[in-house]
Homo-oligomer: A and B are copies of this chain.
Amino acid sequence: MKLMITGGGGFVGSRLARALLARGSLAGERIDRLVLSDIAPPPADLLADARVEARTGALLSQTDALREESFDGVFHLASAVSGECEADFELGLRSNLDSTRALLDALRAQVEAGGKVPRLVFSSSVAVFGPDAAVPMPRVVADATLPAPQTSYGTQKLICEHLVADYTRKGYIDGRAARLMTVTVRPGRPNGAASSFFSGIIREPLAGVESICPVSPDVSHPVSSPQRTVEGLIAVFEASREAFGGRTALNLPALNVRVSEMLDALEQVAGSAVRARVRFERDERIAGIVANWPTGASAARAARLGLLPHDHFADIVRQYIDDCRARPDADQTLKGMR
């Protein structure tokens, strides 16, 4: 089978690619070819795999050519992040909305030309939820909570959920939208996401660097490890339509955790000197965005697919440390741990 991952060079995308290549098959079919589309080339280990083909450039510059090509499956992860979309409205519309529309239309063109209907997993986001004066947000958002996005990023993700649902209804794709929780711990440098600090307050202290937490330690948030997120995307791809249940997006599993609990877990795993590298300094812009995010999420439909969150944030910290040790070539460093 021939698969594509948009955003295949990114944090979640490259991990998903590694997981797929290691499995060798998906939904019972052998993976012969894995196209990784991203604005930056994928990591060297992925490029070294004979099944991998990298396509570097904006997705929107690739979609015309995609009309002439068929895929058995697509994981559509490519996206501008929330902070970028707030800072640059046009960028968000182009990267998140126009790109998705063009991708779906390219897949539709193939089907209209007689090709096989591709299966597609769309990575939506918990950012579709938010409080609105007319619609109070529950403390814990469920699969069927009414979304009321409070950012352009969340709006664009929600719109794409509905495009995926309608292209599916029309038989142009077999689409499934899954809402990712905030994935932590991300390696590398902080990115433009308002949620970037949820990784920074773990990653930087472990690297021996001071980190600033821009929100109160009482802030609670639904998070997930990279590994559980990748497992979730694969399970959603492999689910039958009946098991997925309808065309409405589902929540991936969340560990609902407070910032203070994250830091307790960091201390438990890495020691108090590491935790002491986190300093609280409120950033009104970030805190304002985060205040409109849900403090927790439930994921009943994902649970029925066998997907569960980690029980303890310490497990997520340990997974990050193991990841760093396994890949010392990457810009992931551990310094000054006990």
Interface residues of A in 238-294 (CB under 8 A from B): 242, 245-248, 250
**C-alpha spacing A242/B301, complex, angstroms:** 36
**C-alpha spacing A301/B133, complex, angstroms:** 11
Contact A134 B170 (CB under 8 A): no
Report B-chain residues with C-beta under 8 Å of the C-beta of A155: 162-163, 165-166
The 26 listed contacts between A and B (C-beta, < 8 Å) are A89-B108, A93-B101, A132-B246, A132-B247, A132-B248, A133-B242, A133-B245, A133-B246, A134-B143, A134-B246, A134-B248, A134-B301, A135-B143, A135-B248, A144-B146, A145-B146, A146-B248, A148-B165, A148-B247, A148-B248, A149-B162, A155-B162, A155-B163, A155-B166, A158-B162, A159-B159
Contact B170 A159 (CB under 8 A): no
Asked if A95 is at the interface (CB within 8 A of a chain B CB), the reply is no
**C-alpha spacing A108/B150, complex, angstroms:** 19
Interface residues of A in 82-108 (CB under 8 A from B): 89, 93, 101, 108
Asked if A169 is at the interface (CB within 8 A of a chain B CB), the reply is yes
Report B-chain residues with C-beta under 8 Å of the C-beta of A79: none
**C-alpha spacing A295/B264, complex, angstroms:** 52
Asked if A152 is at the interface (CB within 8 A of a chain B CB), the reply is yes
Contact A170 B246 (CB under 8 A): no
Report B-chain residues with C-beta under 8 Å of the C-beta of A246: 132-135, 148
**CB-based nearest B residue for A152:** B166
**Could you say which interface size class chain A belongs to?**
20 to 34
Interface residues of A in 158-187 (CB under 8 A from B): 158-159, 162-163, 165-166, 169-170
Take A155-B163, A245-B134 as given contacts and tell me if A146 and B148 are in contact as well, using a CB distance cutoff of 8 Å.
no
Contact A170 B144 (CB under 8 A): no
Interface residues of A in 106-143 (CB under 8 A from B): 108, 132-135, 143
**C-alpha spacing A39/B228, complex, angstroms:** 52
Report B-chain residues with C-beta under 8 Å of the C-beta of A148: 165, 246-248
Query: Quick one: CB contact mask for A215-248 with B, threshold 8 Å, 1 for yes?
Result: 0000000000000000000000000001001111
Closest 5 CB pairs of A and B: A134-B246, A133-B246, A132-B246, A155-B166, A134-B245
